């Protein structure tokens, strides 16, 4: 249909993470974000990505990818996509710097990067785009205003309406209102992360004084603060509190060090050289003059804080001189890892401070009052809630209805939905793959089948049964050799394996006596005998691997 705009949602609608959408006019496509999701309890899976096959099939139609900000759920998929296709990437200077580090690590070269400044206006393919600043928990986030033949489409990006952000860079509702007054905004796509929470998100600048107070209160102690390495404004406030309490700042963890360096180079983080010491200096610094900022606040097993909690860090042993502040909140799914980490630190003697006690953290996403203000400002004709767990999308849908939007004007979409915007409004047209693509540490795909095998093995273990048959004589050449892992207690294993071997012998000899020589049938017999014994006697369902040979 001429002049229509097609929106394709490849990730981020239904579960938080792996945000990726495509906007299309007459076969010319602009991508919006390209993120990953961190897997929970998926053995051997390092990242969960959108299914890029829809994009790759259309690679010659892609004009570029706009990256709204530098969080993993918006940039983490890029190295995987850019291995397959080469397209220009648009983003703010900080966002592009974070992306470059990822591409360097992945050995991807030659990608065109286009820097966007606040209020820039750019033609990207068929779209006339204007980029407005938004406040979020990483610097230089951008809202995109797309002018299209179907009217203006606003994508909020992850945002909050913080009146006092640390860098003074507020979400530009003034310009947004101007645009909305100039021309009715056709469609709003907006962040739903906190749509289920009433009120307003606490301002980032309220966290600094709380940290400072804790630093003072634990004056004789070494302070260790765990935070997100992309949360430059939090790191600024940690550094400021350190300065006020005469502490030297030590940055631990490769990603924290990389981001601090980048943000200082870009002038987004103001810490003087004299304030910073290297990890090697920790031993020579007195606890009361030290503030360590590190990664690992989500219980990530390889992060600096995890090493400290296991007393495996090269430069520091945690003890009763340490106060550890969790300047973050566990992302849903990470709660138990964080609680284990806190236990270990407490066990070593550290004092703990976390957001359950005092306000050492605030969200980067706006709550209901802020969302309502965005809706009031934009006053869109049509609305699609994006960026959220499905319940968040529903909460945001209901908020729009409460504000007075007609149900037909709001489309509740999920990953894989394709929506057509025409003169008559929004219409779901078809489904593309919204599948979650699992990737291992080497970047190879992990199939659902492989994952299920791993999950079964991890819960039930396996039994290997090796049977060697004398073909001519129709007898077993030796007793079946049985091995197992993860099935029964190792201390009782031998007894069980002998029993399995015995019952396989009986079953296989019985069919051999009847003249059976077919390997797969003998194998099935060995499996059945083992399975029966295992389930009757232990009630378990380990993976059975019969190996039959004929000699």
Q: Which residues sit at the interface with Zn ion, rule CB under 5 A?
A: 71, 73, 158
* Cβ 501 to Zn ion shortest distance, Å: 55
Comparing CB distances to Zn ion, the nearer of 158 and 417 is 158
| Complex with Zn ion: residue 71 or 396, whichever CB lies closer | 71
Asked whether the beta carbons of 148 and 366 are under 8 A apart, the reply is no
- Work out how close the CB of 381 gets to Zn ion at its nearest, in angstroms, rounded to a whole number: 26
Residue 13 or 250 having the CB closest to Zn ion: 13
How far out from the chain centre does Cα 299 lie? 14
Q: How far is the CB of 462 from Zn ion (least distance, A)?
A: 40
In the complex, minimum distance from the CB of residue 361 to Zn ion, in angstroms, rounded to a whole number: 15
Nearest CB to Zn ion, comparing residues 68 and 245: 68
Report the alpha-carbon distance of residue 335 to residue 339 in Å, rounded. Answer: 6
Report the nearest approach of Zn ion to the CB of residue 121 (Å).
24
Phi-psi region of 267 (alpha: psi -120 to 50; beta: other; left: phi over 0): left
Spatial distance between the Cα atoms of 313 and 355, rounded to a whole number of angstroms: 25
Cβ pair 263, 232 in contact under 8 A: yes
Q: Give kind and range of the element (H or E) at residue 392.
A: helix 390-402
Q: Based on CB atoms, which residue is closest to Zn ion, 167 or 381?
A: 167
Beta bridge partners of 115: 91
Q: Are 17 and 420 in contact (CB under 8 A)?
A: no
Q: Residue 184: what are its φ and ψ, rounded to 5°?
A: -55, 125
Residue 22 or 271 having the CB closest to Zn ion? 22
Q: Is 398 helix (H, G, I), strand (E, B) or coil?
A: helix
Residue among 71 and 243 whose Cβ is closer to Zn ion: 71
Shortest spacing between CB 166 and Zn ion, in angstroms? 16
Return the closest-CA partner of residue 352 out of 312, 313, 305.
305
Residues sharing a CB contact under 8 Å with residue 159, sequence separation 6 or more, in sequence order: 134, 135, 136, 141, 143, 171, 191, 365, 366, 374
Q: In the structure encoding, which two tokens stand for residue 51, read together? A: 């299914």
d(CA 76, CA 98): 10
Please state the closest distance from residue 458 (CB atom) to Zn ion, in A. 30
The residue (of 71 and 186) whose beta carbon lies closer to Zn ion is 71
Nearest-5° angle of CA 175, CA 179, CA 184?
Answer: 150
- Residue 539 Cβ, how far from Zn ion at the closest point, in Å? 44
As measured in angstroms, the least distance from the Cβ of 289 to Zn ion is: 34
* DSSP track, 493-515: HHHHHHHHHHHHHHHHHHHHHTT
| Cβ proximity to Zn ion, 193 vs 530, nearer residue | 193
């Amino acid at each position: 249909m001429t002049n229509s705009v097609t929106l394709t949602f490849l990730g981020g609608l239904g579960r938080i993470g792996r945000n990726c959408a495509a906007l299309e006019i007459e076969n010319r496509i602009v991508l919006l974000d390209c993120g990953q999701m961190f897997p929970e309890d998926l053995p051997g899976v390092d990242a969960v990505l959108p299914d890029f096959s829809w994009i790759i099939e259309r690679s010659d139609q892609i004009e570029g990818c706009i990256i709204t900000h530098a969080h993993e759920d918006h940039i983490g998929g890029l190295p995987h996509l850019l291995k397959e296709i080469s397209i220009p990437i648009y983003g703010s200077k900080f966002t592009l710097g974070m992306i470059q580090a990822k591409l360097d690590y992945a050995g991807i070269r030659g990608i065109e990067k286009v820097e966007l400044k606040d209020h820039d206006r750019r033609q990207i393919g068929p779209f006339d785009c204007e980029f407005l600043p938004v406040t979020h928990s990483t610097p230089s986030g951008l809202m995109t205003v797309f002018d299209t033949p179907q009217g203006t489409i606003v994508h909020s990006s992850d945002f909050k309406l913080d009146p006092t952000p640390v860098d003074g860079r507020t979400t530009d509702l003034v310009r947004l209102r101007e645009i909305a007054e100039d021309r009715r905004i056709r469609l709003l796509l907006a962040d739903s992360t906190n749509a289920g929470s009433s009120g307003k998100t606490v301002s980032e600048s309220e966290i600094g004084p709380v940290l400072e107070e804790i630093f003072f209160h634990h004056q004789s102690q070494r302070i260790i603060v765990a935070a997100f390495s992309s949360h430059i404004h939090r790191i600024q406030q940690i550094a400021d509190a350190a300065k006020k309490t005469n502490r030297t700042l030590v940055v631990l963890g490769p990603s924290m060090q990389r981001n601090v360096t980048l943000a200082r180079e870009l002038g987004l983080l103001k810490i003087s050289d004299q304030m910073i010491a290297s990890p090697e200096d920790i031993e020579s610094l007195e606890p009361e003059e030290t503030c360590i900022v590190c990664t690992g606040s989500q219980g990530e097993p390889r992060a600096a804080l995890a090493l400290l909690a296991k007393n495996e860090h090269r430069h520091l042993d945690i003890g009763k001189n340490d106060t550890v502040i969790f300047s973050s909140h566990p992302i849903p799914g990470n709660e138990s890892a964080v609680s284990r980490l806190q236990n270990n630190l407490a066990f070593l003697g550290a004092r703990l401070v976390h957001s359950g006690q005092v306000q050492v953290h605030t969200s980067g996403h706006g709550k209901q009052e802020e969302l309502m203000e965005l809706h009031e400002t934009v006053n869109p004709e049509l609305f699609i809630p994006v960026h959220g767990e499905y319940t968040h999308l529903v909460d945001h849908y209901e908020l729009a209805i409460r504000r007075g939007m007609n149900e037909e004007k709001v489309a509740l979409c999920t990953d894989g939905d394709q929506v057509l915007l025409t003169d008559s409004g929004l219409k779901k047209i078809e489904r593309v793959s919204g599948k979650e693509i699992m990737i291992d540490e080497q970047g190879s795909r992990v199939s659902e089948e492989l994952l299920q095998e791993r999950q079964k093995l991890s819960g039930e273990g396996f039994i290997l049964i090796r049977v060697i048959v004398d073909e001519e004589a129709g007898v077993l050449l030796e007793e079946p050799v049985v091995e197992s892992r993860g099935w029964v207690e190792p201390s009782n294993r031998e007894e069980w394996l002998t029993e399995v071997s015995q019952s396989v012998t009986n079953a296989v000899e019985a069919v051999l006596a009847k003249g059976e020589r077919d390997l797969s049938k003998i194998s099935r017999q060995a499996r059945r005998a083992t399975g029966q014994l295992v389930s009757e006697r232990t009630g378990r369902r380990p993976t059975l691997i019969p190996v039959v040979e004929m000699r």
